[in-house]
Amino acid sequence: MARRRLFSGPADRRIKAALCIVAHPDDIDFFCAGTVILMASRGVSVDFVLATSGDKGTREAVISGAELAARREREQLASARLLGAARVEFLGRGDAELVESLELRGELVREIRRSRPDVILTFDPTPGYRQHPDHRVVGRVALDAAWPCARDPLSFPEAGPPHEAAEAWLFGSPPTAPPPDLTVDVRDALELKIAARLEHGSQTYSPARLQARWRRMAAEERFVQVDLR
Ligand SMILES: [Zn+2]
């Protein structure tokens, strides 16, 4: 049987549902928000799953982790509204404490089976020397959950009916990696992408500088495209 053609990008009409699986509030904004906007604006149902609520995401220990997490969840929900997300799920794990586990894999299987995405957007877990450990773990466990576990009915049978996602699009690849399979031009979505990023006030030192930098650098998003069929 001929191999099915990979998706051409966010405009591919075969994509009806997408699921972003990330570690922290603002990961989606940083790595794939333009692609999310392009899909959501043409009617694709795009869901977000965040393994943590970013309770360690500050260098000034003036508020508690619980207060910071609550603030960052509110920021993420405001950003998700602008991006057009259908559902935002916080798994509530500790920031900078994610480890590969069957428990986390089972949770991601449940989320994949709930959202039933055609494409999963998550971290490339392969950068070797310097990568946020939560990014590596989320990318690794999301891929393991997507293939083969979410597809196979005897894996995590309590986590809902099986689902095969066609592809994973991985972001955050190391700069030395081969050229990405998929480069998405998000110029048309750039101002909305910046507005959504600015909702993360706790992570923004200078909104004006961020806006200027993102206008120069954030008009392209790059992915490694993984066939899961
Ligand atoms: Zn992160």
CA atoms of 192 and 84, how far apart (whole Å) = 10
pLDDT tens figures, 175-203: 877 778 999 999 999 999 999 999 999 99
pLDDT tens figures, 140-153: 999 999 999 999 99
Which residue in the block uniquely carries the two structure tokens 């099986």? Answer: 162
| Distance of CA 229 from the midpoint of ligand 1 (Å) | 28
CA angle (186, 189, 192) in 5-degree steps: 140
End-to-end CA distance of the chain: 13
| Distance of CA 134 from the midpoint of ligand 1 (Å) | 7
| Distance of CA 117 from the midpoint of ligand 1 (Å) | 22
Quick count: other Cβ atoms within 10 Å of Cβ 183? 12
Q: What is the pLDDT of residue 47?
A: 99
Alpha helices in 84-169 (DSSP H): 102-115, 133-146
| Distance of CA 125 from the midpoint of ligand 1 (Å) | 13
CA atoms of 119 and 24, how far apart (whole Å) = 20
Q: Give pTM, 2 decimals.
A: 0.96
CA angle (76, 80, 86) in 5-degree steps: 130
Q: What is the pLDDT of residue 1?
A: 45
Q: Which of 32-36, 119-123, 125-129 has the least mean pLDDT?
A: 125-129
Domains of the chain in start order, with CATH, are 17-227 (3.40.50.10320)
| Distance of CA 130 from the midpoint of ligand 1 (Å) | 13
The β-bridge partners of 185 are 220
Instruction: State yes or no: pLDDT of 125 exceeds 70.
Output: yes
pLDDT tens figures, 214-226: 999 999 999 999 9
Beta strands in the chain (DSSP E): 17-22, 45-52, 87-93, 119-123, 167-171, 182-185, 220-227
| Distance of CA 132 from the midpoint of ligand 1 (Å) | 7
| Distance of CA 226 from the midpoint of ligand 1 (Å) | 21
| Distance of CA 135 from the midpoint of ligand 1 (Å) | 6
In the chain, the percentage of residues whose pLDDT exceeds 70 is 98
Q: What is the pLDDT of residue 57?
A: 85
Q: The tokens of 10 are what?
A: 């966010």
| Distance of CA 140 from the midpoint of ligand 1 (Å) | 14
| Distance of CA 24 from the midpoint of ligand 1 (Å) | 5
| Distance of CA 172 from the midpoint of ligand 1 (Å) | 10
pLDDT tens figures, 93-112: 999 999 999 999 999 999 99
Give the pLDDT mean for 10-29: 98
Give the pLDDT mean for 50-76: 92
Strands 119-123 and 87-93: unpaired
CA atoms of 118 and 115, how far apart (whole Å) = 9
What are φ and ψ of residue 22, in 5° steps?
-135, 180
Give the pLDDT mean for 62-84: 95
Cα–Cα nearest to 9, from 182, 133, 125: 182
